[in-house]
Structure 1
Amino acid sequence: MPNFLSVGDMSQSYQMNRLNADLKSRMNQLSLELTTGKVQDVADRVGGDYSPLTSIERSLETLEAYQHANASAALTTTTMQNALETVQTYVSDAAPDLLMASDSGHIHMISPATGDAKQKFGAVISAMNTQVAGRSLFSGTATDQIPLANPETILNALNLAIAAETTAAGVQGVIDTWFAPGGDFETVAYQGSTTNLAPLSIGPHETATLTARADDTAIRETLKGLATAALVHDGALASNLTEQTALVSYSASTLISAESSILTMRTNIGTAEAQIEQASVRNVTESQVLEIARAGIVEADPYQSATELEAAQIQLETLYTLTSRLSRLSLANYL
């Protein structure tokens, strides 16, 4: 008697139901891959080893954090450049006017030139007190504190300091001492920290350094030159036009010298700006490379998914056809 394998109706029904469920599950998976573009079974794609994908994801998160930091750093340096450009413009405008006024030796030229310098003195302080997102840019680590006192406070202190002087040389000596390191500028005018901001982290193992503060020599000289002219406008040595003219001349020469120092400050910030921009470009490029690598792992091939979906659909239709035919089989019909 020959051997044969008999499959009962319940067993056959179970097999058909299982095949039906498997094919539907496969079709759902392939449909999701087509609509989302992502493979649904990542574990199968990576062979159970998630370490490459995890490493890529971690690197992308780190680079994204650096991109936010770079955007903040770029805003900071751009705003600092704009502030110093404003200061440089005021200096380059005031110096020639004061020089011409001193050369003329006439009160009708000295008065408007020094009055304009007094206005620019306040404008320079305002520019140096610029803030971004509530953080002062030129206060060193004391970002919660504006770096310079208001113009009236500084000029009142200077007027008091020179009150006893009767010559341009005497006034100049007091002003020089007042603005010099260790002078009253550091207790009356400058309110920031003498510690620079910590280097800005802009990329893996890369930082940018910003050292510009409102107590830098360039800013001291700028304020000294404009303040000297402002003091003349307020009446310093008013009884002696010759001495006033000498002070105005000193004011002009101080500003001319300060302009080149401001340019140096701007150059240093420009170097940091370029470094931040280059780091940002590198970070974006690296992110794009990593995203391509991640796509190679988690993104589905739409052509392959569509092909497999069509094959699964044909298989399911075939299964339905076979199920229908088997359900109609009976001994009675056969006989």
Structure 2
Amino acid sequence: MAMNSLGDLAQNLMLRSYGARIRTEINTLTRELSTGKVADVTKRLRGDFSHLADMDRSLRRLSAFATANAETRLLASASQTSLGIVEQTVTDLSDSLLSVSLSNQAVSHAQAGVKAQGALETMISALNTSVGGRSLFAGVATDQTALASADTLMAGLRSALTGLSTPADIMQAAQDWFDDPAGFAATVYTGSDQSLGSTQVSEDTKVSLNRRADDPAFRDAMRLASVAALAEDPALGLSSTTKTALFEQIGVGLLGARDGVVTLQAEIGDVEGRIEKAATRNGAAKSGLELARGELLSADPYETAIRLEAVQFQLESLYTTTVRNSRLSLVNFLR
């Protein structure tokens, strides 16, 4: 009968090979137990990665939506803050002008002119707000301010009002200058005439922040404030009676302009609400996908622990066998 045997060197190499394999398996099982994920993804998925790839693609898309959502939320919040400043400024100026129109005093007229100048500067500053280097109300020209300075506006309008003496003529001339493409649009509005496009913040939701500083609601507010500021300008030479009539008319007009700004605030508020709802849906979808992905690649901790214990026992047995083999000798055999 043929007999096969292993020499000492071959047996030693074989035991070392078994030991390396068992230690590798222990490391793999230890990693699975600590991470909760299988080490051999190909074996778990049986070579079919299509489902996992689809999940990963969806998670990347949701991550992109989350970024767009956060950026749009920031822009909407900043826009709402700017509109709030404009609305409050218009309200305060309206109250002041209506109060001044009742007094018909030179001192009150002067104070009203100063207040109107300050209100105009505040509105322009609010509409020139930028966030992260992006102008909010300049259309697609996000790299530049939306409006020139209040002084530039006053200088252009002053030339259009000089020589007029009645409130009706002054208000009509101001309206014409703001509507004229060569007036406000050419000298004061420095943004683009193209509004920003919509932003997709979820799989089924797009929102738009497309209001510009040349919107009629803003133009009306700036027109009325600038006329009130110029009422005290010596170049116009208006009488006290004319100033009082102008302040009263402007004060009433500002109430209408405020309504226009409030409408824009409601519009931005609706956008903010849709952004929040989209964020909630995106978060729920992301959580569901991550849970499903985890279950697809998860390692059963109980099963893994049992396998790890069995492999550790194999390693201990191998070490015991190795030690016994190392003690074998002819002398010990003959004893």
Q: Deviations over 1:229-253 (max 9, x none)?
A: 1011323654521111111112112
Residues 1:8 and 2:6 are matched in the alignment? yes
Give the superposition deviation at 1:297.
2.8
- Tell me the amino acid that sits aligned with residue 192 of structure 2: S
Residues 1:324 and 2:323 are matched in the alignment? yes
- Tell me the amino acid that sits aligned with residue 244 of structure 1: K
Local SS of the residue matching 2:231: helix
Residue pair 2:228, 2:246 contacting (<8 A) in 1 also: yes
* Two-structure CA RMSD over aligned residues (Å): 2.1
Local SS of the residue matching 1:297: helix
Give the superposition deviation at 1:177.
0.8
- Tell me the amino acid that sits aligned with residue 199 of structure 2: L
Residues 1:85 and 2:67 are matched in the alignment? no
- Tell me the amino acid that sits aligned with residue 287 of structure 1: K
Name the CA shift for 1:28/1:78 in 2 (closer, same or farther; >3 Å).
Answer: same
Residues 1:51 and 2:50 are matched in the alignment? yes
Q: Deviations over 1:248-288 (max 9, x none)?
A: 11211221100110011111111111111111111111111
Residue pair 2:232, 2:238 contacting (<8 A) in 1 also: no
- Bigger shift: residues 295-304 or 3-12: 3-12
User: What is the aligned-residue identity percentage?
Assistant: 37
Q: Deviations over 1:138-174 (max 9, x none)?
A: 0111112211110001101111111121222221110
Aligned to 1:120: 119
Name the CA shift for 1:211/1:118 in 2 (closer, same or farther; >3 Å).
Answer: same
Q: In structure 1, how many angstroms separate the alpha carbons of the residues matched to 2:298 and 2:53?
A: 15
Q: Deviations over 1:5-26 (max 9, x none)?
A: 6443466545433322221110
Q: In structure 1, how many angstroms separate the alpha carbons of the residues matched to 2:15 and 2:138?
A: 77
Residues 1:25 and 2:51 are matched in the alignment? no
- Tell me the amino acid that sits aligned with residue 84 of structure 1: L
Q: 1:136-285 to 2 correspondence within 5 Å?
A: 136-180=135-179, 182=181, 184-235=183-234, 237-285=236-284
Gaps of 5+ in 2: none
Gaps of 5+ in 1: none
Q: In structure 1, how many angstroms separate the alpha carbons of the residues matched to 2:109 and 2:103?
A: 8
Q: In structure 2, how many angstroms separate the alpha carbons of the residues matched to 1:116 and 1:49?
A: 72
- Bigger shift: residues 65-74 or 11-20: 11-20
Residue pair 2:32, 2:304 contacting (<8 A) in 1 also: yes
Residue pair 1:154, 1:189 contacting (<8 A) in 2 also: yes
- Tell me the amino acid that sits aligned with residue 66 of structure 1: F
Residue pair 1:225, 1:250 contacting (<8 A) in 2 also: no
Residue pair 2:165, 2:238 contacting (<8 A) in 1 also: no
Q: In structure 2, how many angstroms separate the alpha carbons of the residues matched to 1:235 and 1:62?
A: 62
- Bigger shift: residues 191-200 or 254-263: 191-200
Aligned to 2:300: 301
Q: In structure 2, how many angstroms separate the alpha carbons of the residues matched to 1:49 and 1:235?
A: 83
Give the superposition deviation at 1:86.
0.3
Give the superposition deviation at 1:118.
1.1
Residue pair 1:115, 1:230 contacting (<8 A) in 2 also: yes
Name the CA shift for 1:42/1:85 in 2 (closer, same or farther; >3 Å).
Answer: same
Q: In structure 1, how many angstroms separate the alpha carbons of the residues matched to 2:333 and 2:118?
A: 112
In the TM superposition, structure 1's runs of 4+ consecutive aligned residues that sit over 6 Å from their partners are none
TM-score for the superposition, normalised by structure 2: 0.92
Give the superposition deviation at 1:116.
0.7
The count of aligned residue pairs is: 333
Local SS of the residue matching 1:201: strand
Q: Deviations over 1:64-89 (max 9, x none)?
A: 11111111101100000000000001
Residue pair 1:238, 1:244 contacting (<8 A) in 2 also: no
- Bigger shift: residues 130-139 or 300-309: 300-309
